[in-house]
Amino acid sequence: MIKDLLKESLLSVYRNEKLTEGATDHEGAISSCITPQQLAKEMNAELNRKNTDDKERVNLGTKNVIFHRNHIEDYLVKVEDNFDVYQLEPAVTTKSGKPTKKPRKVNFNRLVGSYNKDEGFNPTDFGVKLGYKKSENIPSDTAMRETAVLNSEKFKGLIEKEPSKIFDKNPKMEKSDKGRNQFTVNTGLPAINGIVFDQEDNQFKNINTCPGAGECALVCYARGGFYGMNDGKILKLMRRLNLLWNNPKRYYQKVMEELISAASSVQTPKANWDFDDFEDTNTTNEGPQLVIRWNDAGDFFSDTYFKIAKSATLQLVKLGYDVKSYAYTKQAKYIDLAGDAMVMNFSKGSKPSELAKVDLEKVKYSDIVPSELFKKVFVYKGPHIQVDSEEKPIFQQGGKELLKQLISKEYNIPMDRLKYQDELPPKESDKFKYDVIVLPKGDSDIGAQRNDVHKTLLLVH
């Protein structure tokens, strides 16, 4: 499943085993220890795969922690005269089943042994299972690539550096603010999985940051695009996760410092100030509401992380700020635990076990609309949807109304409930009054922020 999700701008370096070894501060979180040797082998394999000519390159495997290519090159050191040995893909055959003369591709997900001139070929445990034996030369159905070792201290330093910021302001959030009296900030973690250095046991660990993820992982936007191309973004998310994992109190302190600063930058306290009656003076804040989005990537992977988000929201309200927190989650329990403190959007693309815990008629949720439902309503140029001057998709003639009709029938939604984002009234109405269509380009996240929206229907192209 994950191999369809990962982009060529991302690299995978994680051994796909998940053990329940949560740190003391994150009891129940899903994590797995991973040695520097394992990291190095997998990073080296992916780097070699990336350096292979496009036509000969094999697909990424099922491993799913992301690092940028430059990170791998910076933190791996080549070992002279030592090679990793990988299995070759089956020979390419004709329609009749006969092998062609095309060279067999190297499967960099199948490390079967190592080779050097002094010791010859030594199979790994996996190689032994496949029938490989120790020998002077490498087996005929394998290929060698230079071995590299991980500079553990340098790599640990990369992860352990405290993030400069927990919250960002991104273009999508700015679209939500446009025309509304609000100011939105957002934060997130590495999507699906991320590496930390656990200071309790001095081990590198993989943390499953989206333990409830199901089908949504296949179209997770935080696995590609800007997140995958930007070195700084990847490092920022890794460092946030590492700080949260190892020192949640320091993480919370930074959260509060940044949110108080953000709220104060747009809100001004107002009151009928009276020095003779200052103890009973009630203040209000004039200015845009501070809207906080949690989990623009990742999820509440532990109760501790969720408690931080909820506590920060309640603390800001207690201090007199006008704030609203909202989040998407694949973890059913956090829908109820949030109460009225946060606007929670349950992701229908979660695991079936999580989906079974919620009554979709009673919770606010998001769903991914099947692409077959909308592929004929937009104007395309090749595979790409064409957009107008506001970066919104251009509809075929009659396509805008047709899309509503198709979605109305698919989801059994009355047409008068179904709205495009720009059709929502400026002020919120009664709870769950509307269901909102989010276009594949140009739309904001405003539907997820409002309690009068029940279903947020995402068109992912």
Are β-strands 453-458 and 31-33 bridged in parallel, bridged antiparallel, or unpaired? unpaired
Whether the pLDDT of residue 123 is over 90: the answer is yes
Whether the pLDDT of residue 439 is over 90: the answer is yes
Task: Look at 319 and 47; give whichever has higher pLDDT.
Answer: 319
- What is the mean pLDDT of the segment spanning 129-151? 89
Residue 57 and residue 75 in contact, taking contact as beta carbons nearer than 8 Å: no
The single residue listed with the structure tokens 């329990």 is 333
The pLDDT > 70 percentage for the chain reads: 82
Are β-strands 106-116 and 76-88 bridged in parallel, bridged antiparallel, or unpaired? antiparallel
Indicate the pTM of the whole model: 0.78
H/E element, 159:
helix 152-160
H/E element, 164:
none
Q: How confident is the model at residue 135 (pLDDT cuts 50, 70, 90)?
A: very high
The single residue listed with the structure tokens 């029940």 is 454
Residue 296 and residue 170 in contact, taking contact as beta carbons nearer than 8 Å: yes
Task: Report the number of secondary-structure helices (H) and strands (E) in the chain.
Answer: 14, 21
- Separation of alpha carbons 456 and 438, rounded Å: 7
- What is the mean pLDDT of the segment spanning 71-85? 85
Hey, how many other C-beta atoms are within 10 angstroms of the C-beta on 119?
11
pLDDT for residue 322: 92
Whether the pLDDT of residue 43 is over 50: the answer is yes
Q: How confident is the model at residue 42 (pLDDT cuts 50, 70, 90)?
A: confident
